[in-house]
Amino acid sequence: MGESFRIATRNFVTTLLVVILIFVIAICGGFLAGLISFVPLIGTLVSLVIQQIVVAFATLVIVGEYFKLRGSAVDQPAAPPPSVV
């Protein structure tokens, strides 16, 4: 199995909470977009923008959690530069 699968199964509760959070946000975003889509002229455009914001947020949450759980060097602070004396 791949690294992502191993990380997800080792951190099952965290993975489950992220999935539930994304599901709830997607439902709320879809509901809001559905309501706004009935506004004449601009409703459809605003609805599409809301849906894309939800997708972008979900992607950032998933990638952020992956990096956090992986413990990658991306999240660790860089070493201070050597002092010049």
CA 64 to chain centre: 7
Task: Tell me if 35 is assigned to some domain.
Answer: yes
Question: Which phi and psi (to 5°) does residue 56 adopt?
Answer: -65, -40
To the question of pTM greater than 0.85 for the whole model, the response is no
Task: Tell me if 44 is assigned to some domain.
Answer: yes
Q: What is the pLDDT of residues 14-49, one digit of tens each?
A: 899 999 999 999 999 999 999 998 888 899 999 999
> 3-state class of 51 per DSSP?
helix
Task: Tell me if 23 is assigned to some domain.
Answer: yes
What domain range includes position 39?
Answer: 3-70
Count: domains in the chain: 1
**Contact in structure between 29 and 50 (CB atoms under 8 Å):** yes
Q: What is the pLDDT of residues 54-71, one digit of tens each?
A: 999 999 999 998 898 888
For residue 56, give both structure tokens. Answer: 């972008």
Alpha-helical regions (H) of the chain: 3-10, 12-36, 43-70
